[in-house]
Amino acid sequence: MGRVNGDAERTSEVDYLIIGAGVCGLHQLHDLLEIGADVRVVDANSGLGGTWYKNRYPGCRFDSESYTYQYSFSEELLQEWDWKERFAAQPETLSYLEHVADKFDLRQHITFDMRLVRAEWSEDDLRWTLTFENGQVIRAKFVLYAMGLLSVPTYPRIPGRGTFRGLETHTFDWPEGYDVTGKRVAVIGTGASGVQVITDIADKVESLSVLQRDANWCAPLGNAPISKEEMQELRERYDEIFAWCRETPAGFIHRPHRTLSTDVTREERLRHWEELYNGQGAGLYMGNYRDCITEPGPNRELSEFVAGKIRERVEDPEVAELLIPKDHGFGTKRVAGESGFYEVFNQPNVELVDLMAHPIHEVTETGIRLDLGSGEFRDLELDVIVYATGFDAVTGPFDRIEIIGTDGVRLKDRWKDGPETCLGVQVSSFPNMFVLVGPQSGSASANFPRGIEDVVNWMTQTALYIEEHGIDRFEGRREAEIAWVEHVREVNSKLLMSQTRSWFNGHNINLERDEKPRVMVYLGGAPRYRRRLTEELENGYPSFLLSSSAVSATLST
């Protein structure tokens, strides 16, 4: 960038502008620099790392194996980085990303504190004009969105929120270094973030009230330090590990069994589940018999097995029952990896509050007032309220920006009833706008760096094509978009996951609890998604309309 436009001092120009300096944006920046593109990254935060920059709540860590959640593009990087734990905590991941940025000299291409508020396409000069909260304006030929799937936190709409005199924070907005030792704390929400923060702080706080709406399934994470010898052994196997992960549906080290649960005896199933439960990571969820997440019968049996484990681990039978999900089966929503979560409820300073029975009436100056029914209330006196209430997922980051395409069409309006994308990478009527992380993309449902590398590789190849052919207009075809949405809907419908209420189906702040699910993520698996993107490269982009005014011809019609 750096070329200052004569008519406005605060306006600059660039060919490729990436929005977001997280795991995806950094990878894309690295690869576009490698091909010599004129590229710049902007980020609303004051530092790089995206999710790993923002989520600083106690206990925040991967629940994918650390060594699978790293870039594979540089052998040197792979050889020099040591992971300390099987499932790295947030500070370690952030320092990894900072190391990557330093090693490849990426920082000079990133501008921080740049919150995008408006992006408008101009058909006259085939450019996007992007306006930032701080008044800066950037004009770009191509805009690449890498804003993360979970970067807009949702605070519940509870009367009185904001009036509390103590600390009221979302897990995503946790104040750097804030210590809860000796405090009276309430955590609202028991998804993956809630489970981590609850487990981490339970033995430090004076009292902990866990406010749960629906219970969520959890399985042991099996975290442990990685020894020097183990690290060396992993390093020697990286090629094999990445090749394996690339062929698993979700890009994890865990791969579903070819066998159906009904092909083996009950004794064998139980023995296998016991092994998975005592193993590492998401094995029980992703490395199980394949019918466990597609067929209600096998799913029920697996759920009963995990429910048995909860009953064994939680001393109070009533509390155990509350912690066993009743509205969905195991693995039909994102399963949280836990490290002693259930034992927390055996501590005398911890209580589980069932919000279904006693909803929050209001937040008060001194805590939370629960509605006990029949005009009765109970006041929780608190120092800290933690909202572990999730995110306006996948489309939330786009909804916050006024994105205007051809003929004044607004992205917000186009996606009003749910997102529609062309292969998860573009939207018709929004030329030259690429979505690297967003709805209906393989990047959204696979172990993150594994999922995004498919999109980043495709984007880099596409940028090379654009440069070689002088393409100045690149737009997803409407008919390809309709076909893709239909395909995603059909593929997703084969999984029980498509029927549960979770952020995977758009059940976030925008949807009332009984509204129809949206087609947010692509659950067809990373290998299938990669093949589909490769087909486009090999066949000259049949799903897109490409044109070059330089040669005055439509290259692909």
Residues 6+ apart with CB under 8 A from 275: none
What is the DSSP secondary-structure string of 162-215? T--SSEEEEGGGPPTT---TT-EEEEE--SHHHHHHHHHHTTTSSEEEEEESS-
Residue 237's nearest CA partner among 392, 362, 78, 359 is 78
- Of the pair 216, 426, the CB lying nearest ligand NA7 is at 216
- Taking the complex as a whole, the smallest distance from the CB of residue 368 to ligand NA7 amounts, in Å, to 11
- Of the pair 268, 327, the CB lying nearest ligand NA7 is at 327
- Nearest residue to ligand NA7, by Cβ distance, number only: 191
- Taking the complex as a whole, the smallest distance from the CB of residue 195 to ligand NA7 amounts, in Å, to 7
- CA atoms 184, 350, 347, 306: torsion sign: negative
Tokens of 356: 């279904």
Q: How many CB atoms are closer than 10 A to CB 267?
A: 8
- Of the pair 234, 385, the CB lying nearest ligand NA7 is at 385
HEC readout, 86-144: CCCEHHHHHHHHHHHHHHCCCHHHEECCCCEEEEEEECCCCEEEEEECCCCEEEEEEEE
- Of the pair 194, 476, the CB lying nearest ligand NA7 is at 194
Strands 39-42 and 336-338: unpaired
Residue 544's nearest CA partner among 467, 480, 466 is 480
The DSSP call for residue 227 is P
Tell me the helices (H) and strands (E) count for the chain, helix number first.
17, 22
- Taking the complex as a whole, the smallest distance from the CB of residue 538 to ligand NA7 amounts, in Å, to 33
- Taking the complex as a whole, the smallest distance from the CB of residue 381 to ligand NA7 amounts, in Å, to 20
Tokens of 7: 């008519």
Residue found under tokens 């836990």? 338
- Of the pair 214, 475, the CB lying nearest ligand NA7 is at 214
- Taking the complex as a whole, the smallest distance from the CB of residue 356 to ligand NA7 amounts, in Å, to 9
- Of the pair 476, 525, the CB lying nearest ligand NA7 is at 525
- Taking the complex as a whole, the smallest distance from the CB of residue 509 to ligand NA7 amounts, in Å, to 8
- Taking the complex as a whole, the smallest distance from the CB of residue 136 to ligand NA7 amounts, in Å, to 31
- Taking the complex as a whole, the smallest distance from the CB of residue 216 to ligand NA7 amounts, in Å, to 6
- Helix (H) or strand (E) segment spanning residue 19: strand 11-19
- Of the pair 21, 323, the CB lying nearest ligand NA7 is at 323
Residue 167's nearest CA partner among 178, 156, 176, 158 is 178
- Taking the complex as a whole, the smallest distance from the CB of residue 351 to ligand NA7 amounts, in Å, to 16
CA angle 312, 315, 316 (to 5 degrees): 120
Burial of 84 (0-12, 13-18, 19+ CB in 10 A): exposed
- Of the pair 142, 252, the CB lying nearest ligand NA7 is at 252
- Of the pair 139, 333, the CB lying nearest ligand NA7 is at 333
- Of the pair 48, 186, the CB lying nearest ligand NA7 is at 186
Distance CA(364)–CA(355), nearest Å, equals: 17
- Taking the complex as a whole, the smallest distance from the CB of residue 149 to ligand NA7 amounts, in Å, to 8
Interface residues with ligand NA7 (CB under 6 A) are 150, 156, 188-194, 213-214, 216, 334, 355, 388-390, 503
- Taking the complex as a whole, the smallest distance from the CB of residue 413 to ligand NA7 amounts, in Å, to 26
Residue 298's nearest CA partner among 276, 270, 335, 279 is 270
Distance CA(410)–CA(395), nearest Å, equals: 14
Strands 207-212 and 350-354: parallel
- Taking the complex as a whole, the smallest distance from the CB of residue 501 to ligand NA7 amounts, in Å, to 6
Residues 6+ apart with CB under 8 A from 409: 429, 430
Residues 6+ apart with CB under 8 A from 500: 327, 328, 332, 333
- Of the pair 191, 367, the CB lying nearest ligand NA7 is at 191
- Of the pair 169, 190, the CB lying nearest ligand NA7 is at 190
